[in-house]
Structure 1
Amino acid sequence: MTEGSAEAGGAGEIDLATFGQRLRHYRLARGLTLAELGQRVGRAPSALSALENGRREPKLSLLQALARGLGVSTEQLLEREPPNRRAQLEIAIANAAQDPSLAEVDLPALKISKRVGTDVLEHIVALYGELRRRDAMRVATPEEARRANTQLRRIMRERANYFPEIEQAAAKTLTPVGHRDGALSQAMLRGILAQHGFSLHYAADLPWSARSIADLRHQRIYVRREPMGMHTAPTIVLQTLGHVVLGHAPPRSYFEFLQQRVEANYFAAAVLVPEQAAVAFLREAKQRRDIAVEDLRDRFAVSYEMACHRFTNLITEHLGIVCHFIRCDERGIIYKAYENDGLAFPVDPLGAIEGQRMCRQWAGRRVFGAGDRYSMYYQYTDAPDGTHFCIAHVDPGRERDFAITLGVPYLESQWFRGQESAARARSRCPDPACCRRPPAELTRRWEGMSWPSARAPSHVLATLPPGSFPGVDDTEVYAFLERHALDS
């Protein structure tokens, strides 16, 4: 948006293609030529043509003049819905021209005249959709996945992991059911679903490859009853609904798949832990110098990991505290990580963190050696970028335990419970001499005299499963929906 553009009127970002179609629709409905409308608003026909073709953004003054000249409101011009099916098809074709996967076909720009029938446009859009679908079916390599993850983490860091548009969507969802604080009840969950036309169904025969399935034809969401780590049934239901509320389309790339997962997870957390109540709770805890993630967990009846995620969403934006988050197993293998406090994570040549082994001196490794690994573990860690105060908690799992670590710079420790901890460690990572390179004496004694049989998981050699939703078996999903549709 440029200064003085339509955003000044409170409309937010304009979809230029849709705006152009709506402008053309109202002009033709009034029987006006470009020249005649230009006379009414004091603009050249060429300038209005650029608006109708989505090549130029209107300033607020012109937007208001166009509304007066056409006898409509500015809100009608700025609505995000195309005025009719043909306009929707023309917008789809214009958007497809910008799609990198279609650019590879190297087709000339398609100019759509009035003589091109709507049925022809339907065929073209369907063909474009099939090309995108086949492109999405290309097998993604682990390298592509790591690059996508790295790119997404950079975006999250730049935004301090705070997404106001999703916070607003969550608040709008909560208003009709009146949920402001505490645990979200089952009745409220069903009420939220009903707002959007969905009903909740528990299914014991849900395909193993899916955590949930949304039947968009019958407006149903299917889940299992049993929890899956941090993913309780309400969490999964809200994540699934998040895709609908946030207007997600089937992902066209692995990056888009990951981005949608992050956004849907964020939406679920923002519904389960409402922003206004959570921020007030954290500010009060800060005044008492007693911030504790476990208190946030207990207040809103969510998992510890989700409470940590929600903490990273709100603590920088509202309390000005930078932080880091890590989820790792007992071997130190990192599964999830986020930072905006400068902590240097181990990375591969592509910049990816997942799959790397964290320093032995960090709290997430040392908690497994504590006398009671399931109690909160507090530690000060001296790292090359400074000292961090870290809180580690082990979440027991069915197959393995995971440590969830939240850390802040030393100066911020004054606001947290556990600040009196005497546990301290020094990390020189990423210096290999810290913990990745064996001590010199051991190296002299054993280098060349050992041959360990490595436990190499077969998946490290495998490409990522193909499809819009990697790893999901479409046949099983469709068979499941067909089976349950017969019950209705």
Structure 2
Amino acid sequence: MLNEGRPKRRRFAGAELRALRHRLALGQAAMARRLGLSVSYLSQIESDDRPVTAAVAAALTRAFPLDWQPVVEGASARAEAFHAALADPLFSELPPMSSRLAEQQPGLADRFVALHAAWRAAEAQRQIADEAIASGVEGAGRLPWEEVRDWFHDAGNYVGPLDEAAEALAEGIGGPHVSTEALIGALAQGGVTVANSEDDGPLRHFDPATGQLLLNAGQPAATRRFLLAHQLVSLRFAAMIADVTNDAMLSEEARRLLGIGLANYAAGALLMPYAAYATSAREVRHDIDRLRQRFGVSFEQACHRLSTLQKPGARGLPFFFCRVDMAGNITKRHSATRLQFARFGGACPLWIVHEAVAIPDRILVQLAETPDGVRYLSMAKGLVKPSGSYERMARRYAVALGCEATHASAFVYADGLDLGGAATPIGISCRLCPREDCDQRAFPPADRPIAIDPDVRDVVPYRVL
């Protein structure tokens, strides 16, 4: 063969590695520690005095799974998509496939990726139908808030025009860390005055006739800042929000709710501008407490914003995010991972978020595994929102944020977990979970028969067949 005996071409990537380090705001010493290299060796790689060896490339991929694009001969978007599809546990029993297959058979690789995407979409729709039937709500129309929830899900929880406009507005009023004074000043330029209301009044009340904005005096500073940001973007981006809602194929009530949701989205993007927030999130390995302090937002707001970092070409870590109330109802949800939340009823009782509801202000972490064999890292924290009055109950709930275990190196909450050890077996919901030996079952699976033995009583009074 012509290539036989030819030495493998050495790969140099000094410029790419240096750009990555600058983008993550890391010094050479910090980068070297992450990679397990000496500073001098790293400096030689960045100067192209040394090549990127296979060991160094592997270290880069482990340390920076989202940011480092491996320098691989013949790498392409097709090959990446092909191997991402092959990573699905559905194909776990297949023998390893050559990295060159996508290049040797591009048509086959494209069809494989398209078929896998279509299969996942069909499975998601089947799951929705099965869950609706099992919950006894088949044929029922969606409620307006469900329409809006599904709209954001279909949009990938990212609204580009609003996000970019909010980022530009933040820059114009002193961003990326927009102060309360800057928000009040920007509102004043539009003729809006800000005052406090009684503690038992609404969180926010705006009178368009007088231009007065009343904020509940009993709310935390982060909540008040968010309400100010909401009012500002509602006025500045009114036409843009109206264009989006008018184009949405939703009921009239759902369109009005979507307008509020879009203003909330833009408020989050104003307080946590995309580029600055994404850079900070990578720098602190998605440490929520450090992010909320840096940007002056609440714990929930910091978590929620991470789930919206889905800009094409600059995506953040693929997270799932949800908020659960004391009764186990999921009141907010989005997933950029393979994990999808139950649409009807509550989440799996074995999931750590339920324990977090009962233990406010304490972060709990969990390694969990779904029936398809995918492992997830979850962080959950119980929160209490004060009402400002003894006569009005505080709101109690928990938020959960997580990612697939393959991204552990970029998720600070994975530190200390044994990723190869036992994982908590969770499901989507009891009616859809195929597990036969779960002691926490509330209902049998909808598609499996059960056996009942009057002479045998276990924790669950039936066996799943």
TM score, norm. by length of structure 2: 0.55
Distance 1:307 1:341 in 2: 18
- 1:418 is paired with a residue whose SS is helix
Question: 1:201 is matched with which residue: 186, 195, 198?
Answer: 195
| 1:293 alignment partner in structure 2 | 288
| 1:262 alignment partner in structure 2 | 261
Matched, 1:227 2:216: no
- 1:149 is paired with a residue whose SS is helix
| 2:349 alignment partner in structure 1 | 360
**Structure 1 residues 162 and 149, CA gap change in structure 2 (3 angstroms):** same
**Structure 1 residues 395 and 235, CA gap change in structure 2 (3 angstroms):** same
- What CA deviation, in whole Å up to 9, does each residue of 1:210-253 have, x standing for no partner? 4322222232222222217x971221122123222221569982
In the TM superposition, residue 274 of structure 1 has moved relative to its aligned partner by 1.9
- The equivalences for 1:303-318 within 5 A come to 303-314=298-309, 317=312, 318=314
**Structure 1 residues 428 and 280, CA gap change in structure 2 (3 angstroms):** closer
Distance 1:424 1:344 in 2: 18
Identity %: 23
Matched, 1:436 2:442: yes
Distance 2:395 2:354 in 1: 14
**Structure 1 residues 261 and 358, CA gap change in structure 2 (3 angstroms):** same
**Structure 1 residues 421 and 345, CA gap change in structure 2 (3 angstroms):** same
- 1:389 is paired with a residue whose SS is strand
Distance 1:436 1:179 in 2: 49
Contact 2:320 2:403 in 1 (8 A): yes
- 1:156 is paired with a residue whose SS is helix
**Structure 1 residues 428 and 163, CA gap change in structure 2 (3 angstroms):** closer
| 1:328 alignment partner in structure 2 | 324
Letter in 2 for 1:359: C
- 2:191 is paired with a residue whose SS is coil
In the TM superposition, residue 406 of structure 1 has moved relative to its aligned partner by 0.5
- 1:298 is paired with a residue whose SS is helix
- The equivalences for 1:5-154 within 5 A come to 146-154=142-150
In the TM superposition, residue 339 of structure 1 has moved relative to its aligned partner by 1.4
**Structure 1 residues 272 and 443, CA gap change in structure 2 (3 angstroms):** farther
Distance 1:227 1:154 in 2: 30
In the TM superposition, residue 346 of structure 1 has moved relative to its aligned partner by 1.8
Matched, 1:215 2:221: no
Contact 2:278 2:316 in 1 (8 A): no
- 2:317 is paired with a residue whose SS is coil
Contact 1:145 1:254 in 2 (8 A): no
- The equivalences for 1:159-178 within 5 A come to 159-178=155-174
In the TM superposition, residue 393 of structure 1 has moved relative to its aligned partner by 1.0
- The equivalences for 1:401-440 within 5 A come to 401-419=396-414, 420-422=416-418, 424-432=423-431, 434=438, 435-437=441-443
In the TM superposition, residue 329 of structure 1 has moved relative to its aligned partner by 2.6
In the TM superposition, residue 444 of structure 1 has moved relative to its aligned partner by 7.2
Distance 1:269 1:429 in 2: 28
**Structure 1 residues 175 and 368, CA gap change in structure 2 (3 angstroms):** closer
Contact 1:332 1:359 in 2 (8 A): no
- 1:295 is paired with a residue whose SS is helix
**Structure 1 residues 397 and 214, CA gap change in structure 2 (3 angstroms):** closer
**Structure 1 residues 396 and 442, CA gap change in structure 2 (3 angstroms):** farther
| 1:340 alignment partner in structure 2 | 336
Contact 1:361 1:425 in 2 (8 A): yes
**Structure 1 residues 411 and 426, CA gap change in structure 2 (3 angstroms):** same
| 1:390 alignment partner in structure 2 | 378
- 1:305 is paired with a residue whose SS is helix
Gaps of 5+ in 2: 1-138, 387-393, 445-449
Letter in 2 for 1:232: T
**Structure 1 residues 254 and 190, CA gap change in structure 2 (3 angstroms):** same
Distance 2:311 2:198 in 1: 41
Q: CA RMSD in A?
A: 3.4
**Structure 1 residues 156 and 368, CA gap change in structure 2 (3 angstroms):** closer
In the TM superposition, residue 428 of structure 1 has moved relative to its aligned partner by 3.5
Contact 1:331 1:365 in 2 (8 A): no
Range moving further from structure 2, 433-442 or 336-345: 433-442
Question: 1:375 is matched with which residue: 336, 358, 362?
Answer: 362
Question: 2:176 is matched with which residue: 173, 180, 184?
Answer: 180
In the TM superposition, residue 441 of structure 1 has moved relative to its aligned partner by 8.0
In the TM superposition, residue 204 of structure 1 has moved relative to its aligned partner by 2.0
Letter in 1 for 2:151: I
Letter in 1 for 2:361: Y
Distance 1:144 1:300 in 2: 42
Question: 1:236 is matched with which residue: 224, 227, 237?
Answer: 227
**Structure 1 residues 337 and 411, CA gap change in structure 2 (3 angstroms):** same
Gaps of 5+ in 1: 1-142, 349-355, 450-488
Distance 1:400 1:205 in 2: 15
- What CA deviation, in whole Å up to 9, does each residue of 1:264-283 have, x standing for no partner? 11111112112222122123
**Structure 1 residues 390 and 190, CA gap change in structure 2 (3 angstroms):** same
Letter in 2 for 1:374: D
Letter in 2 for 1:201: A
Letter in 1 for 2:213: I
- What CA deviation, in whole Å up to 9, does each residue of 1:436-480 have, x standing for no partner? 238968997699x9xxxxxxxxxxxxxxxxxxxxxxxxxxxxxxx
Letter in 2 for 1:383: T
In the TM superposition, residue 430 of structure 1 has moved relative to its aligned partner by 3.2
**Structure 1 residues 366 and 214, CA gap change in structure 2 (3 angstroms):** closer
TM score, norm. by length of structure 1: 0.52
